[in-house]
A and B are shown apart, each in its own frame.
Chain A
Amino acid sequence: MQIDKSKFPIIYGHDPRKGEMFQVVNEEGEIVNPDFMPDLTDEQLFEIYTWLIRMRISDEKANNLQRQGRMGTYPSIYGQEACQIGAVWPQEKSDWLVPTFRENGMMWMKGVPLEQTYLYWIGNEKGSEFAEDLNMLPVAIPVGSHTIHAAGIGWAERIKGGNNVAVCSFSDGATSEGDFHAAMNFAGVFKTKCVFFCQNNQYAISTHRNIQTASDTIAEKAFGYGLPGVMIDGNDVFAVIATMTEALKLAREFNTTTLIEAVTYRLGAHTTSDNPKIYREDSEVEEWAKKEPLIRLDKLLRAKGILDDEKAAKVEEDARQEVSIAAKKALEAENPKITDMFDYLLSETYPELEEQKQQLIEETNE
Chain B
Amino acid sequence: MSRELKIVEAINEALFQGMERDERVMVLGEDVGIEGGVFRVTSGLQEKFGKDRCVDTPLTETGILGAAVGLAINGMIPVCEIQFDGFIWPGFDHIINHIARFRTRTRGRITTPVIIRVPFGGGIHALEHHSESMEAVFSHIPGINVVIPSNPHDAKGLLLSALQSPDPTIFLEPKKIYRAIKEDVPEAHYTVDTKKAQVLREGNDVTIISYGAMMRETKLALTEYLKTNELDFELIDLVSLSPIDYETVIKSAEKTGRVLIVNEEPRTCGLAAELAAVIQEKALLSLKAPIERVTGFDVIMPLLKMEDHYIPGPKRIINGLTKVLNF
Residues of A within 8 A of B (CB): 72-73, 101, 120, 122-125, 127, 139, 141-145, 173-174, 176-179, 204-207, 211-213, 273, 278-279, 335-336, 338, 340-342, 345, 352-353, 356-357, 360, 363-364, 366
Contact = CB atoms under 8 A, between A and B. Distances in A.
Given A143-B59, A366-B315, A72 B127 contact: yes
B309 A278 contact: no
B298 A356 contact: yes
A79 to B, nearest CB: 20
B306 interface: yes
A345 B268 CA distance: 15
Contacts of B299: 341-342, 345, 353, 356
A211 B59 CA distance: 9
A205 B30 contact: yes
Contacts of B268: 352
A341 B127 contact: no
Contacts of A120: 303
A205 B302 contact: no
B306 A207 contact: no
Contact of A211 (B58, B87, B125): B58
9 contacts: A72-B127, A123-B125, A173-B58, A173-B59, A206-B31, A211-B57, A273-B38, A338-B306, A364-B309
Given A142-B87, A178-B62, A205 B125 contact: no
A184 B302 CA distance: 32
Nearest to A274: B38
B30 A72 contact: no
Given A73-B127, A142-B87, A352 B34 contact: no
Given A72-B125, A123-B303, A336-B302, A204 B30 contact: yes
B277 to A, nearest CB: 17
Interface string B32-44: 0111101000000
B305 A124 contact: yes
Contacts of B60: 176-178
A175 B62 CA distance: 13
Contacts of B126: 72-73
Contacts of A213: 58
Interface size class of B (residues with CB under 8 A): 35 or more
Contacts of B310: 341
A205 B303 contact: no
Nearest to B51: A211
Contacts of A101: 127
Given A72-B304, A127-B303, 13 more contacts: A123-B307, A143-B59, A176-B60, A205-B30, A205-B31, A205-B38, A207-B31, A340-B302, A341-B300, A341-B309, A352-B298, A356-B267, A360-B309
B313 to A, nearest CB: 9
Contacts of B90: 142, 144-145, 177-179
A363 B316 contact: yes
Pick from B35, B38, B59 the residue with the most CB of A within 10 Å: B59
A174 B304 contact: no
A139 B129 CA distance: 12
Contacts of B35: 205-206, 278-279
B81 interface: no
Contact of A123 (B58, B61, B89, B304): B304
B90 to A, nearest CB: 6
B86 interface: yes
Contact of B303 (A125, A142, A273, A357): A125
Interface string B206-218: 0000000000000
Contacts of A206: 31, 33-35, 56
B297 interface: yes
Given A72-B126, A178-B60, A278-B34, A353 B309 contact: no
Most buried by B among A127, A144, A279: A279
Contacts of B300: 341, 345
Contact of B302 (A125, A211, A279, A366): A125
A279 B307 contact: no
Nearest to B38: A205
A122 B125 CA distance: 10
Contacts of B125: 72, 123
B63 interface: yes
Going nearest first, the 10 A-B pairs with the smallest beta carbon separation are A123-B304, A206-B35, A176-B58, A173-B59, A123-B303, A341-B299, A123-B305, A176-B59, A176-B60, A356-B297
Contacts of B297: 341-342, 353, 356-357, 360
Given A73-B127, A342-B299, A335 B58 contact: no
B129 A142 contact: yes
Given A142-B87, A205-B38, A177 B59 contact: yes
Nearest to B316: A363
B104 interface: no
B296 to A, nearest CB: 9
Nearest to A336: B306
A175 to B, nearest CB: 8
B52 interface: no
Contacts of A356: 267, 297-299
Contacts of B33: 206
B59 A341 contact: no
Contacts of A364: 309
B164 interface: no
Nearest to B319: A363
Contacts of B202: none
Contacts of B303: 72, 120, 123-125, 127
B55 to A, nearest CB: 9
B59 A279 contact: no
